Amino acid sequence: MKIYKLEDFDRGYFIGNFPKAIFKTNAFEVSLKKHLKTDKHELHYHKFVTEFILVVRGMMRVNGQVINEGHIFVLEPYMINEIEYLDECELVVVKSPSLPNDRVPI
């Protein structure tokens, strides 16, 4: 058995097309993200990537809609990502395919 520390991975991504990933694949990415209420995201979209996001803890506003703990939401390619953290949040993020440079700022 191998044991890893989350802080050893690029932005929490432990599976995907990343240098430090435990399992390297172009098919998908998996990460555990932790965000403070004060964290900010620039408006952006992805050309090819679909994001599947589980809110494990906290509450956030995504594209004007409040998303609570236990909810899963999906962001499709070309959908603008406008994100505001209303609490400290923990998220499990799965993206498919694994294209780390697919983010397009607006």
User: Is 57 among the domain residues?
Assistant: yes
User: Is 15 among the domain residues?
Assistant: yes
Tokens matching residue 76:
């499709």
CATH number at residue 82: 2.60.120.10
Q: How many domains does the chain have?
A: 1
Q: Which residues fall within 8 angstroms of residue 51, CB to CB, at 6 or more apart?
A: 74, 75, 81, 93, 94, 95
User: Is 91 among the domain residues?
Assistant: yes
What pTM was computed for the model? 0.91
User: Is 69 among the domain residues?
Assistant: yes
User: Is 106 among the domain residues?
Assistant: no
User: Is 22 among the domain residues?
Assistant: yes
pLDDT digits (tens, 9 = 90+) for 75-104: 999 999 999 999 999 999 999 999 988 999
Q: 76 lies in which domain range? A: 6-99
pLDDT digits (tens, 9 = 90+) for 4-36: 998 888 888 999 999 999 999 999 999 999 999
